[in-house]
């Protein structure tokens, strides 16, 4: 389903931009036996996505998706704001949010942990460096992670 979600994202991104928003993440998943296509948005001008934005984009995307006809089963289209816990999906997201508090989860244990909280210190071509909220057992207060090691990451909306 990830490949289909990527194809949908490529196809809908120009239309979403025309409507004043950016696609943050597209997910296609089964929920209680029914497919859900979830599209997370943020406004291009940096202001908050509101219900009118979601309704307007939902109407436009419903038509576009019907024409594309790439999801063969019945599905629910869910359009929403990326929110205060905005996911970090692409390397450009990590670059954009340097200095922010983030939560990063890894596929495998690294330094005895799979979840890291801290300030996103830097984002390079192949990975990131975090200044950890809680130093590791060895006293190290930074960790470097490759993008390929990261299973998920998001802004820590509980921190200002």
Are 2-81 and 91-155 the same fold in CATH?
Answer: no
Domain map (residue ranges) of the chain: 2-81, 91-155
Distance, CA of 65 to CA of 11 (rounded, Å): 9
Ramachandran assignment for 144, one of left (phi > 0), alpha (psi -120 to 50 degrees), beta (any other)? beta
SS3 124: coil
Any idea what DSSP says for residue 48? P
pLDDT tens by residue, 119-150: 999 999 999 999 999 887 777 899 999 999 99
**What is the assigned CATH class of domain 91-155?**
mainly beta
Residue, of 137 and 154, whose pLDDT is higher = 154
Please identify, in words, the CATH class of the domain defined by 2-81.
Answer: alpha beta
Which residues, at least 6 apart from 130, have a Cβ–Cβ distance to it below 8 Å? Answer: 102, 104, 116, 118, 119, 120, 121, 142, 143, 144, 145
31: alpha, beta or left, given left = phi > 0 and alpha = psi -120 to 50? beta
Helical spans, DSSP H, in 29-122: 51-68, 91-96
Structure confidence at residue 137 (pLDDT) = 77
Kindly state the tokens that stand for 75: 């599905």
pLDDT tens-digit map of 70-105 = 988 899 999 999 999 999 999 999 999 999 999 999
**Average pLDDT, whole number, for the chain?**
93
């Amino acid at each position: 389903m990830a490949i289909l979600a990527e194809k949908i994202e490529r196809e809908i991104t120009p239309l979403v931009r025309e409507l004043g928003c950016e696609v943050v993440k597209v997910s296609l998943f089964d929920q209680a036996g029914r497919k859900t296509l979830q599209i997370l948005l943020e406004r291009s001008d940096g202001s908050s996505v509101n219900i009118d934005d979601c309704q307007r984009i939902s109407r436009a995307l419903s038509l576009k998706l019907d024409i594309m006809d790439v999801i063969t089963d019945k599905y629910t289209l869910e359009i929403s704001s990326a929110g205060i816990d905005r996911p970090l999906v692409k390397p450009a997201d990590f670059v954009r949010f340097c200095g922010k508090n983030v939560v990063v989860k890894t596929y495998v244990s690294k330094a005895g942990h799979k979840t890291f909280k801290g300030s996103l210190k830097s984002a390079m071509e192949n990975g990131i460096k975090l200044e950890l909220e809680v130093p590791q057992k060895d006293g190290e207060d930074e960790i470097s992670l490759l993008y390929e090691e990261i299973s998920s990451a998001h802004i820590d909306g509980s921190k200002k």
